[in-house]
Structure 1
Amino acid sequence: MTSTPEFWTVRHFSQANPAGAGCDSMPALLRRLADSIETLGPAEVQDVVIHGELTEHGTWRSGTVYYHLPADS
């Protein structure tokens, strides 16, 4: 029987599209986040939150990925 840990670590990183024209591209943001997730290796993604901030170029997209690594357990 395994015991439930009393605490756990959740790591995170945030990324955004470059400011200016194209900052509102959801496909570009999702590609950027996916590429970064791949570089993590055997990470377990817990959540992805997409943010938007209104600018003169449209909605400036960013995202935060919450994850943990096998070594965190």
Structure 2
Amino acid sequence: MHDDGKTSWTIRHFSQANPSGAAQADVAALLRRVADSLDRLGAIEVSDIVMHHEVTEDGIWPSLTVYFHKTDVDEG
């Protein structure tokens, strides 16, 4: 491997959905749930958020995958 002067880091991720059932399609609740999870992670920088939809017998079940990296980690 050669040193091309580029910085690299490991990206982390998590996926989250509402509990299955009558309110599983509530996107506003899902966004609040993900926001709470982000707050608990502390110092991070979000790189991307991807929304997925699964179709179940209870209807559409959205989920979000958040890609992030920690900003309070010594990268030296």
**Structure 1 gap segments, 5+ residues each:** none
Q: What SS class does the counterpart of residue 29 from structure 2 fall into?
A: helix
Q: TM-score, normalised by structure 1?
A: 0.85
- Aligned-residue sequence identity (percent) comes to 54
Higher-Rg member (1/2): 2
TM-score normalised by L of structure 2: 0.82
Q: Following superposition, which runs of at least 4 residues in structure 1 exceed 2 angstroms of deviation?
A: none
CA-to-aligned-CA distance 1:41-64 (integer Å, 9 cap, x gap)? 110000111111112322101111
Question: For structure 2, which runs of at least 5 residues remain unmatched after alignment?
Answer: none
Residues 56/38 of structure 1: CA separation in 2 closer, same or farther (3 Å cut):
same
RMSD over equivalenced CA pairs, Å: 1.5
- Aligned length, in residue pairs: 70
